[in-house]
Protein backbone atom coordinates (compact mmCIF):
# COMPACT_ATOMS: atom_id res chain seq x y z
CA UNK A 1 0.00 0.00 0.00
CA UNK A 2 1.31 3.43 -0.86
CA UNK A 3 1.39 6.36 1.52
CA UNK A 4 -1.48 8.81 1.13
CA UNK A 5 -0.53 12.33 0.15
CA UNK A 6 -0.22 14.43 3.25
CA UNK A 7 -1.70 17.88 3.54
CA UNK A 8 0.43 20.93 4.25
CA UNK A 9 -0.29 24.47 5.42
CA UNK A 10 -1.84 26.45 2.57
CA UNK A 11 -3.59 23.43 1.01
CA UNK A 12 -7.35 23.57 0.61
CA UNK A 13 -8.98 21.46 3.31
CA UNK A 14 -10.86 18.57 1.66
CA UNK A 15 -14.60 19.14 1.88
CA UNK A 16 -16.73 16.59 3.72
CA UNK A 17 -20.25 15.93 4.91
CA UNK A 18 -20.47 13.20 7.53
CA UNK A 19 -23.10 12.07 10.06
CA UNK A 20 -22.57 13.02 13.69
CA UNK A 21 -23.34 10.84 16.70
CA UNK A 22 -27.06 11.55 16.22
CA UNK A 23 -27.02 10.84 12.47
CA UNK A 24 -27.25 14.55 11.55
CA UNK A 25 -25.06 15.60 8.64
CA UNK A 26 -22.22 18.02 9.44
CA UNK A 27 -20.15 19.61 6.67
CA UNK A 28 -16.84 21.41 6.73
CA UNK A 29 -18.63 24.24 4.91
CA UNK A 30 -20.79 24.71 8.05
CA UNK A 31 -17.63 26.16 9.65
CA UNK A 32 -16.74 28.61 6.87
CA UNK A 33 -15.72 31.91 8.44
CA UNK A 34 -14.51 30.20 11.63
CA UNK A 35 -11.35 28.31 12.53
CA UNK A 36 -11.86 24.62 13.25
CA UNK A 37 -9.61 21.95 14.69
CA UNK A 38 -10.32 18.61 13.02
CA UNK A 39 -8.77 15.61 14.68
CA UNK A 40 -8.82 12.05 13.42
CA UNK A 41 -8.69 9.17 15.91
CA UNK A 42 -8.79 5.38 15.48
CA UNK A 43 -11.67 4.21 17.70
CA UNK A 44 -14.14 5.59 20.22
CA UNK A 45 -13.97 4.29 23.79
CA UNK A 46 -10.38 3.01 23.55
CA UNK A 47 -7.91 4.27 26.19
CA UNK A 48 -5.84 6.62 23.99
CA UNK A 49 -8.82 7.99 22.08
CA UNK A 50 -10.75 8.55 25.31
CA UNK A 51 -7.79 10.44 26.82
CA UNK A 52 -7.47 12.62 23.72
CA UNK A 53 -11.22 13.34 23.49
CA UNK A 54 -11.38 14.21 27.20
CA UNK A 55 -8.39 16.54 26.80
CA UNK A 56 -10.24 18.35 23.99
CA UNK A 57 -13.39 18.45 26.16
CA UNK A 58 -11.46 19.87 29.11
CA UNK A 59 -9.81 22.52 26.89
CA UNK A 60 -12.89 23.36 24.85
CA UNK A 61 -13.81 26.59 26.68
CA UNK A 62 -10.33 28.04 26.14
CA UNK A 63 -10.23 26.85 22.52
CA UNK A 64 -13.68 28.35 21.85
CA UNK A 65 -12.65 31.63 23.51
CA UNK A 66 -9.70 31.72 21.11
CA UNK A 67 -12.15 31.34 18.20
CA UNK A 68 -11.48 27.64 17.61
CA UNK A 69 -14.15 24.98 17.10
CA UNK A 70 -13.35 21.24 17.48
CA UNK A 71 -14.52 18.22 15.46
CA UNK A 72 -13.44 14.60 16.04
CA UNK A 73 -13.64 12.09 13.16
CA UNK A 74 -13.27 8.30 13.32
CA UNK A 75 -14.47 5.30 11.31
CA UNK A 76 -16.95 4.43 14.09
CA UNK A 77 -20.68 4.25 13.36
CA UNK A 78 -22.91 7.02 14.82
CA UNK A 79 -24.37 4.73 17.50
CA UNK A 80 -20.89 3.99 18.91
CA UNK A 81 -20.04 7.70 18.77
CA UNK A 82 -23.23 8.53 20.71
CA UNK A 83 -22.29 6.05 23.44
CA UNK A 84 -18.77 7.51 23.59
CA UNK A 85 -20.06 11.09 23.68
CA UNK A 86 -22.54 10.31 26.44
CA UNK A 87 -20.12 8.22 28.52
CA UNK A 88 -17.43 10.92 28.44
CA UNK A 89 -19.73 14.02 28.41
CA UNK A 90 -18.17 15.24 25.15
CA UNK A 91 -19.59 18.55 23.98
CA UNK A 92 -18.14 18.86 20.47
CA UNK A 93 -19.22 17.00 17.31
CA UNK A 94 -17.97 13.47 16.70
CA UNK A 95 -18.35 12.48 13.06
CA UNK A 96 -18.59 9.03 11.50
CA UNK A 97 -16.46 8.13 8.45
CA UNK A 98 -16.97 4.35 8.09
CA UNK A 99 -15.90 4.24 4.43
CA UNK A 100 -12.77 6.23 5.41
CA UNK A 101 -13.05 8.61 2.42
CA UNK A 102 -12.49 11.72 4.54
CA UNK A 103 -9.71 10.02 6.53
CA UNK A 104 -7.98 9.21 3.23
CA UNK A 105 -8.55 12.71 1.80
CA UNK A 106 -6.70 14.15 4.80
CA UNK A 107 -3.92 11.54 4.64
CA UNK A 108 -5.07 10.20 8.03
CA UNK A 109 -5.52 6.58 6.91
CA UNK A 110 -2.77 4.35 5.63
CA UNK A 111 0.31 2.45 6.66
CA UNK A 112 1.65 3.05 10.12
CA UNK A 113 3.87 1.22 12.58
CA UNK A 114 2.27 -0.26 15.69
CA UNK A 115 4.29 -2.28 18.15
CA UNK A 116 7.03 -2.73 15.55
CA UNK A 117 4.70 -4.01 12.83
CA UNK A 118 3.48 -2.21 9.73
CA UNK A 119 -0.32 -2.09 9.71
CA UNK A 120 -2.98 -0.18 7.82
CA UNK A 121 -5.25 2.01 9.87
CA UNK A 122 -6.13 5.45 11.14
CA UNK A 123 -3.12 7.72 11.56
CA UNK A 124 -3.86 9.92 14.58
CA UNK A 125 -3.75 13.39 13.01
CA UNK A 126 -4.87 16.94 13.76
CA UNK A 127 -5.53 19.87 11.45
CA UNK A 128 -6.38 23.51 11.95
CA UNK A 129 -8.54 24.80 9.11
CA UNK A 130 -8.72 28.58 8.77
CA UNK A 131 -11.76 30.76 8.08
CA UNK A 132 -11.36 30.41 4.30
CA UNK A 133 -11.07 26.61 4.32
CA UNK A 134 -7.29 26.35 4.05
CA UNK A 135 -5.07 24.11 6.16
CA UNK A 136 -3.22 26.27 8.69
CA UNK A 137 -1.66 23.43 10.72
CA UNK A 138 -1.21 19.76 9.74
CA UNK A 139 0.11 17.32 12.34
CA UNK A 140 0.45 13.59 11.68
CA UNK A 141 1.25 10.71 14.04
CA UNK A 142 0.37 12.77 17.09
CA UNK A 143 0.33 11.21 20.54
CA UNK A 144 -3.01 10.78 22.29
CA UNK A 145 -1.62 11.88 25.65
CA UNK A 146 -0.38 15.46 25.87
CA UNK A 147 -1.36 16.33 22.31
CA UNK A 148 -4.01 18.91 23.19
CA UNK A 149 -1.62 20.68 25.59
CA UNK A 150 1.04 20.78 22.85
CA UNK A 151 -1.50 22.03 20.30
CA UNK A 152 -2.57 24.79 22.70
CA UNK A 153 1.08 25.82 23.15
CA UNK A 154 1.65 25.75 19.37
CA UNK A 155 -1.45 27.94 18.83
CA UNK A 156 -0.76 30.16 21.88
CA UNK A 157 -4.13 29.31 23.44
Residues classed as catalytic: 49
CA distance 13 to 15: 6
- Cα separation, 102 vs 15, whole angstroms: 8
* Three-class DSSP labels, 50-98: HHHHHHHHHHHHHHHHCCEEEEEEECCCHHHHHHHHHHHCCCCCEEECC
Amino acid sequence: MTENRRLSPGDAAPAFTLPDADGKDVSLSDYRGRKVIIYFYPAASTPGCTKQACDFRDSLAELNEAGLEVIGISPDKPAKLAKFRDAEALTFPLLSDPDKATLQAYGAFGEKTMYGKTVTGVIRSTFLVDESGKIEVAQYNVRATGHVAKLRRDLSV
